[in-house]
Structure 1
């Protein structure tokens, strides 16, 4: 099965793939699996429908609104570059 655990939450190199996003408008919380091969620049909140976009200086919605930054940032590399 490669580096991903059965629950999809972490890879063997310690990179977490699960992250919990919190909508800044309504507070809705959702746990999502972050991709390792793409950036997520837009995310539609399931609570209020707000389209979340990265904050200035952040590379993706996970780095702006989630409790765990995206995999490239966790590895100390550039995201989406």
Structure 2
């Protein structure tokens, strides 16, 4: 089993701003406010968190194939 990656780059679909963030390992992050345009990001339908929708790396539970954190 590969090591879980905890850093992901979130990219805002509204303004294109990208920022590296550390993903929580004990909960899903359902909301994320873009620092640049202040848009409130929410997961796309079918995704469990903002990292799965807008991140460069999916969240830890998805990486470990243990299912969605919801």
TM-score category, normalised to shorter length: over 0.9
Q: What is the deviation of 1:46?
A: 0.4
Q: Which runs of 5+ in 1 are unaligned?
A: 1-12
CA distance in 2 between partners of 1:38 and 1:24 (Å): 23
Moved over 2 A (4+): none
Q: Deviations over 1:39-80 (max 9, x none)?
A: 000000001000000000000000000100000000011122
Decide which structure has the larger Cα Rg and report it: 1
TM-score under structure 2 normalisation?
A: 0.94
21, 45, 56: which is aligned to 2:10? 21
The number of residue pairs the alignment matches comes to 69
CA distance in 1 between partners of 2:52 and 2:69 (Å): 12
TM-score under structure 1 normalisation?
A: 0.82
